[in-house]
Amino acid sequence: MIETKAGSFTPEPRLLINGELVDAVSGRQFDNINPATEEVLGQVADAGHEDMARAIAAARRAFDETEWSTNHVLRQRCLEQLQEAIEAEREDMRAELVAEAGTPIMVTYSAQLDSPMEDAFRWPAKNIDQFPWERQLPDGEAFGIHSRRLVVKEPQGVVGAIIPWNFPFEVTANKLGPILATGNTVIVKPAPDTPWNATRLGRLVAERTDIPAGVVNVVSSSDHLVGEDLTLDPRVDLISFTGSTVTGKRIMEKGAATLKRVFLELGGKSAMIVCDDADFAAVLPAAGAACMHAGQGCALQTRILLPRSRYAEGAETLQAIMENIPYGDPTDPGIVQGPQVSAKQRDRVMSYIQKGIAEGANLLVGGRRPAQFDKGFFVEPTLFTDVDNSMTIAQEEIFGPVLAVIAYDDDDDAIRIANDSSYGLSGGVFSASGDRAMAIARRIRTGSISVNGGIWYGADGPYGGYKTSGIGRQNGTEGFETYLETKLVGLAG
């Protein structure tokens, strides 16, 4: 058992393959590091290509040879069991996520754990009853044959689910729920930085549910190329990936040879448009959310668009907000910003900050590794003003606590700047007029958008990206469609 200030937990070091919790064939393990302290928390199985091959074979067999793909009642029962199982280990999972992801405990009470846990498996289980698995088309009369015509929705088959390290539980649960509800089998490949959340789910599947052996497999590995096997293997039908756009493109390339279906949820560089009629004191604190979990969220609004007429006032308000972001020890309940997940990510963020300075943006707050911590991958909450939208810090996803403040002339200009991005994941608009804010929101080319602080998140809400932010949707009815094939049947007579 591991004791931490955020609680205690016992991590699961084993893989789940074909219904059994096993070590890697090689016996190898790798270290799981606490990003706040740089200490080794413990170990997890380090799967190799042979373990991945076994997991793929098991998932294929479970899809082809068990009743999983056709038995709605069994699937519903298993998802309800899984929901109960995660709720029973909520507090262990909370402490574990704080330890391995460095996420502030405060964030686990919302996006990191409790919000997705609410309905992660419950909603997909319920939707099994409501989803239109079949629909009748008008009868056909072709080539002298009268036919009844039916559209039937069927699972894709074997899914490779590749998970990032920033919101491990949220992403894994939002993949597993619809993947399983629609009758697919799956190999979950967690990020090497946060393997325990996935191996815990693997143990819960094995010990607390009737999910048949092989339907869910969990394969942790320190080697990204072991995950890449999922994209190359012809026995895998679909890759469901959340992570960087660079890796998303590589997955498509590697998957092309076997014409893999892909669901990709990738990066973002979302804009928050603050209209000239907005109450700055009331709305600008929302911009501080970009530092939540050290800015390691794909949908965070990291470009703040202020009207030129009130730019100085807005910049001053934002300066005060960013100077007061509580950051540091993620086990402290008052903290919203913990460390970056790894030294590599910390260095990446620092290099973006240097680029911002070099390209002429004005560094108003932060920008350094904080001197008060001698351990941990921390970066100060950082605010750049006088940012031009063409600068690297306005175009590329930094994945750190870095805000770029950009001036605009009028609503059309704000919309143009917001849309002048290769990404299209999310965003926000604030105006004293709901109608004006909605009119702007409708013209923003992103998969989700918050209007006057509204929350769009939910297991029933289809989420995903436009442009290079992704392909397809997770959650909601559209999320079911992601994992389904469509069969057209003509029945003579």
Residues that bind ligand NAD (CB under 6 A): 162-166, 189, 191-192, 224, 227-228, 231, 242-244, 247, 250-251, 266-267, 298, 345, 348, 397, 399
Cβ-based nearer residue to ligand NAD, 89 or 223: 223
What the block records as the tokens of 410 is 């009028």
Q: Are 98 and 331 in contact (CB under 8 A)?
A: yes
Cβ at position 70, least distance to ligand NAD in Å: 30
3-state secondary structure of 452: coil
Distance CA 9, CA 19 (A): 23
Cβ-based nearer residue to ligand NAD, 38 or 84: 38
Distance CA 430, CA 345 (A): 31
Distance CA 285, CA 404 (A): 15
Q: What is the four-CA torsion angle of 383, 388, 389, 391, rounded to 10 degrees?
A: -80
Give residue for tokens 């911009």.
287
Cβ-based nearer residue to ligand NAD, 307 or 464: 464
Point out the residue whose Cβ comes nearest to ligand NAD: 243
Cβ-based nearer residue to ligand NAD, 331 or 474: 474
Distance CA 166, CA 191 (A): 9
Cβ at position 231, least distance to ligand NAD in Å: 6
Distance CA 402, CA 358 (A): 15
Cβ at position 439, least distance to ligand NAD in Å: 28
Cβ at position 246, least distance to ligand NAD in Å: 7
Q: In whole angstroms, how far apart are CA 169 and each of 96, 335, 376?
A: 11, 20, 22
Cβ at position 350, least distance to ligand NAD in Å: 12
Cβ-based nearer residue to ligand NAD, 125 or 394: 394
Cβ-based nearer residue to ligand NAD, 267 or 330: 267
- Say how many Å lie between the first and final Cα of the chain, rounded: 65
Cα 489 → chain centroid: 36
Cβ at position 282, least distance to ligand NAD in Å: 29
Distance CA 486, CA 69 (A): 14
CB atoms within 10 A of CB 363: 16
Cβ-based nearer residue to ligand NAD, 224 or 368: 224
Q: Which amino acid is at 294?
A: A
Q: Catalytic residue positions?
A: 265, 298
Give residue for tokens 């919302």.
110
Cβ at position 347, least distance to ligand NAD in Å: 11
Instruction: Give the CA count within 13 Å in the CB-facing half-sphere of 232.
Output: 8
Cβ-based nearer residue to ligand NAD, 242 or 452: 242
Cβ at position 116, least distance to ligand NAD in Å: 14
Q: Where are the beta strands (DSSP E) in 200-274?
A: 216-218, 238-242, 261-265, 270-274
Q: Where are the beta strands (DSSP E) in 133-233?
A: 134-142, 145-155, 158-162, 185-189, 216-218
Distance CA 173, CA 116 (A): 7
Query: At how many degrees (to 10) do helices 72-88 and 168-181 cross?
Result: 160
Q: Are 425 and 469 in contact (CB under 8 A)?
A: yes
Q: Which amino acid is at 411?
A: D
